[in-house]
Amino acid sequence: MNILDKIIAQKRIEVAERKAKTSIAELQQQPLYARATLSLKQFLLDDTKTGIIAEFKRQSPSKGVINGTADVAEVTSAYTNNGASCLSVLTDEQFFGGSTNDLIKARVNSIPILRKDFIVDEYQIEEAKAMGADVILLIAACLTTDEVKRLAAYAKKLSLEVLLELHDEEELQHICDETEIVGINNRNLKTFEVDIERSLRMAKQIPDTKIKVAESGISSVENIQLFKANGFRGFLIGENFMKAENPGKAFAAFVQQLKEKA
């Protein structure tokens, strides 16, 4: 069983436990559920913005603890104030050290927020809406094509957008009408190796009507320039900033470099 299989098995247990504890009707009564969502698509198509989806991530199965002391409100506010197009907040607790509260605290910012988690059930989409998210992540590697279609349609019904994450060519068939934003993870979820060239090859097979997002393994302004030249509009970066003592400052410096080389 690889790490992704372990995460998904644990996620199904967690979802069953949370369903038993809090009903969908109760989630729908939570204060943030009724807020008007922000459009990631709109933010990514805005040429005045950086296109960076800046991630708050404390740890990962491959790297262990990346930053155990960072304050989520402080870091995400710095990301927002320095030009992020979107925030990505990990809500998986066991493997990534995140929580629902992290996303709720990040909601002080008025840019789109992606709930970064392993979605396998409609219940988690209701949770995302209740915690103030604007976008959910659907990972093709752990869902069938029918599940992607069904979950994406459910999200759309709640005015949430979907980032569909792909890892290899076989997963291109998961792209459907309901998934307008398609991410390519440069990191193989099974081996954790980074291969940017493979992502660029895959991008050529994604319809031009979709908004392309590069995910993981982005560590330089040159990486972003290369992805932009290949039709990408979004760039999800987490570890590169989170491993710094002050992630917000690291993000500001990166954006400054990006402006200088534009």
Beta bridge partner(s), residue 214 = 184, 235
Closest CA to 140 of 92, 107, 179, 194: 179
- The enclosing H or E element of 76 equals helix 72-81
What DSSP letter does each residue of 106-163 carry, written as one string?
A: HTTS-S-EEEES---SHHHHHHHHHTT-SEEEEEGGGS-HHHHHHHHHHHHHTT-EEE
| C-beta separation of 151 from 119 below 8 A | yes
Residue matched to tokens 């204060």: 31
Distance CA 169, CA 165 (A): 12
CB 116 within 8 A of CB 127: no
Q: Which residues pair with 157 in a beta bridge?
A: none
User: 213 pairs with which residues across the strands?
Assistant: 183, 234
Residues carrying an active site annotation: 55, 57, 116, 165, 185, 215-216
Note whether 74 and 87 are within 8 A (CB): no
**Nearest-angstrom CA–CA distance, 253 and 211:** 26
Instruction: Give the tokens for residue 132.
Output: 């103030």
List the beta bridge partners of residue 64.
60
